[in-house]
Amino acid sequence: MNDTAALLVIVDAANVVGSVPDGWWRDRKAATERLRDRLATQGLPAHEGPLEIVLVVEGAARGVEPVPGVHVERAPGSGDDHMVTLVAEAAGTRPILVVTADRDLRRRVTELGAEVTGPRTVRG
């Protein structure tokens, strides 16, 4: 593994957006865009060093566009399955951090060597 490579941060958009009852359900796309913009401006608080941020979107948020600093991956089906695929593709090549509170997803990605953290890490 290349420990000097940028940390790959894969964010479970639906899980992170849904972690705070702030009315996100009225407009999932707009809530996801707010998360994307926060990630673009704040990155991963408390982490120094290069990052590659991937925001995985599904359902009503599939229309969210990327911005400088945040790549948007539109899951063709299950967002969880797509995140597992992304982790599997990068496993062993660089450090990976998945942001989610989903217990099953956490288990699946840690089995592939990723680290996990909860939504508070990016929600501030």
Q: What is the pLDDT of residues 1-36, one digit of tens each?
A: 666 789 999 999 999 999 988 888 899 999 999 999
3-state secondary structure of 69: coil
Distant-in-sequence, close-in-space partners of 105: CB < 8 Å, separation ≥ 6: 12, 15, 80, 83, 84, 98
pTM over 0.85: yes
For residue 115, pLDDT over 90 is answered with yes
Least confident range from 58-62, 79-83, 116-120: namely 58-62
